Amino acid sequence: MKILFFGQLVEVVGTKELIIEGITDIHALTSSLHQQFPLLAQSKYVVAVDQEIVSGNQHLHENNIVALMPPFSGG
């Protein structure tokens, strides 16, 4: 499963893109990522699955593209 990171999250995880396997839902994905990148747990972001923002948990398939998107404030 492809995971995309946006904004400051790229600095937090050190990459724009990750491939993760064996993840079945969003909660499992985020808790696995938070474990791997503790600073990510302190960051605010929303999750988009296949370019649609989702709230709450959702089942994930291997061919989903998941994006973690933080809020931007600059102007």
Instruction: Tell me whether residue 15 or residue 22 sits nearer to other proteins (CB atom).
Output: 15
- Least distance (Å) from other proteins to the CB of residue 16? 9
- Least distance (Å) from other proteins to the CB of residue 1? 17
Instruction: Tell me whether residue 4 or residue 28 sits nearer to other proteins (CB atom).
Output: 4
Determine how β-strand 2-5 pairs with β-strand 46-49.
unpaired
Are 37 and 30 in contact by the 8 Å Cβ rule? The answer is no
Six-digit token string for 18? 């990750």
Are 13 and 29 in contact by the 8 Å Cβ rule? The answer is no
Instruction: Tell me whether residue 21 or residue 52 sits nearer to other proteins (CB atom).
Output: 52
